[in-house]
Amino acid sequence: MLFQRPSHRTRVSFEVAIARLGGSRTTLGEQDVQLGYRESVGDAARVLDRYVDGIVARLRSHTDLVELASAAEKPVINALTERSHPCQILADLMTLEEVRGPLARQHVAYVGDGNNIATSLMEASTRLGFPLTVITPSGYEPDEAVITRARGLALDGDRLSITNELAKVEGATAIYTDVWTSMGHETERESRRRVFAEYQVNEALMSAVPDAVFMHCLPAHRGEEVTDAVIDGKQSVVFQQAGNRLYAQMALMAELFGSGT
Ligand code: CP
Ligand code: NVA
């Protein structure tokens, strides 16, 4: 496992999942491999390939992740980049099915920054066919290239909608938010606080969708994107999401590395 950024849930859930599946792992931090600095991404991939059955990587740059995956013959699992966080969304969709039933009957409203979580939700929505409304402040929408790629994954049309209007949470069965300032954007935190203030998920917003669950990938910045009353309230399923990281990743690795029997 390679981690260029901090991690709690992803690192611990992968470590425990690997152990429970009977595997072993080594976890390397930023200073160990020094990917792209001490050696090229491609060289590191070709060396790791000779030692391990797969690579779990949380990298700063999505381009580096793609390069790592291209150079390695073994599977590379994206443990978050600035562009996407697919393992998180696997656990989230598992949670949503557990608490609300089949995905086809859900309508997820994502409120906040058009970031890596939004991207992976969009890709899941178009590929799996559940409706998703992404609601962001103006100027913080997902990139056009990300939207185009997500729409291109649709097997049967897509029900993806991107808007700046908070009122579009109406009818949602799940409200999902994430931090306003993701890792790597820390210098923008003050300006983002001002821009995102009206997009806070608070009791007033949740009361517009009384049957919806509240979701967050964590870590949360309480008092910014979500209030204590909502994250600790009865609609919240955030700790179930965090717990399901373990099971979703066990399933992912059983699929990738299992014998197929
Ligand atoms: N949700 C998530 O990926 O958490 P960490 O950054 O702590 O791994
Ligand atoms: N968008 C957040 C997700 C953390 C799990 C970040 O990239 O910092």
The answer, yes or no, to whether residue 107 has pLDDT greater than 60, is yes
Contact 61, 82 (CB under 8 A): yes
- Is 185 marked active-site? no
User: Which numbered atom of ligand 1 lies nearest the CA of 85?
Assistant: 3
Q: How confident is the model at residue 25 (pLDDT cuts 50, 70, 90)?
A: very high
Clarify whether 34 is annotated catalytic.
no
Q: What pLDDT is attached to residue 46?
A: 96
Q: Residue 116 C-alpha to ligand 2 middle, in angstroms?
A: 7
Nearest CA to ligand 1 atom 3: 10
From 92, 113, 158, 178, active-site residue: 178
Find the 261 Cα to ligand 1 centroid distance in Å. 32
> 139 with 118: CB under 8 angstroms?
no
61 alpha carbon – ligand 2 mean position (Å): 13
Whether residue 159 lies in the annotated active site: no
241 is catalytic: no
Residue 261 has pLDDT above 60, yes or no: no
Residue 101 to residue 94: CA distance in whole angstroms? 10
**Cα separation of 47 and 74, whole Å?**
11
Q: What is the CATH number of domain 2-81?
A: 3.40.50.1370
For atom 6 of ligand 1, the residue with the nearest CA is 7
How many A from CA of 179 to the centre of ligand 2? 7
Mean pLDDT of 72-79: 97
Task: Provide residues with CB under 6 Å of ligand 2.
Answer: 80, 115-117, 178-179, 182-183, 217
What is the pLDDT at residue 133? 98
Q: Could you read off the pLDDT of 186-226 as tens digits, one per residue?
A: 999 999 999 999 999 999 999 999 999 999 999 999 999 99
| 258, amino acid identity | G
Question: Is the pLDDT score of 252 beyond 90?
Answer: yes
Ligand nearest to the CA of 184: 2
- Out of 3, 5, 10, mutate this one to test ligand 1's pocket (max ligand atoms within 8 Å of CB): namely 10
Domain boundaries, the chain: 2-81, 86-241
Per the DSSP assignment, residues forming a β-bridge with 56 are 77
Whether 100 sits among the annotated catalytic residues: the reply is: no
Q: Does the active-site annotation cover 87?
A: no
The dotted CATH code for 86-241 is: 3.40.50.1370
Domains 2-81 and 86-241 share a fold: yes
pLDDT recorded at residue 258: 87
pLDDT above 70: residue 260: no
pLDDT at 33: 81
Judged by its nearest atom, the ligand closest to the C-alpha of residue 82 is 2
Note the pLDDT of residue 259: 72
Does the CA dihedral 148-149-151-156 come out positive or negative? Answer: positive
Q: Which residue has the tokens 């929408």?
A: 141
Given the residues 4, 88, 200, 235, the one annotated as active site: 88
pLDDT band at 179 (very low <50, low <70, confident <90, very high): very high
Confidence class for position 56, pLDDT limits 50, 70, 90: very high
